[in-house]
Each structure stands twice: as C-alpha cells, then as structure tokens.
C-alpha cells in the first residue's frame, strides 16, 4: 500500500516515475526548460510503467488531501524535500512510513 501511495504522490506532485508497483528508485522526469515548475513528457503516456504518465504540470491534489487530514504545510514540504533528495525505494518508503 505504501508503494502505491509513493507511486501516486511521485507521479502527481514530484514528477517521478517508478517500476511496476511503485518499486525501484524514483526516476526524476526532466524539468521543462521553457516553463518553470513543469516537466517534459518525454515518455509515452499510454505506457506508464516505462516512465510515461506523469503530470506535466504538478498537481497539488495530494497536498490538499494531506492538509485535510491535519498535516501541516511545513511537514508536507519536508516530506517532498526528503523524497526529492533520496530517491531509492527503501529511503522513500521509510520517509513515508515515518511521515508525521
């Protein structure tokens, strides 16, 4: 379940994609040089397991869900910073498990 949460959060908010089932390192999609805070969609969207399917414009929907259940904005930003710094599956799952 944690890997599914990691996969959804990474694709929607962080521009990361993973191996099937949220396994493997969080591979970062290339930032778009023409638009700030956007990602290039260089992979085929119809094949999400090969790196496609991330959102070009990051969504704040997962952040809003966390805020609705009582997580502060600072805690969310700290989680995102940790997930961007350490992209190995083990490190990211530990960060999510220890979140909050």
Tens-level pLDDT at each residue, the chain (100 residues): 888 888 888 888 888 877 776 677 887 877 877 887 888 766 666 666 565 667 778 889 999 999 999 999 999 999 989 988 888 888 888 888 887 6
Dihedral sign computed on CA atoms, order 33, 23, 80, 45: positive
- Match 């220890």 to its residue by tokens: 98
Instruction: Please name which of 2, 47, 39, 10 lies closest in space to residue 27, comparing C-alpha atoms.
Output: 10
How far apart CA 53 and CA 46 sit, in angstroms, is 7
Domains of the chain, residue spans: 2-98
């Amino acid at each position: 379940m944690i890997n599914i949460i990691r996969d959804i959060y990474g694709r929607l908010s962080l521009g990361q994609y993973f191996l099937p089932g949220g396994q493997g390192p969080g591979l970062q999609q290339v930032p778009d040089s023409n638009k700030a805070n956007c990602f290039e969609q260089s992979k085929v969207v119809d094949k999400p397991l090969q790196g496609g399917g991330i959102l070009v414009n990051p969504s704040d929907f997962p952040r809003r869900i966390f805020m609705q259940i009582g997580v502060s904005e600072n805690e969310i930003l700290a989680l995102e910073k940790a997930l961007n710094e350490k992209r190995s599956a083990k490190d990211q799952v530990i960060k999510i498990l220890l979140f909050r």
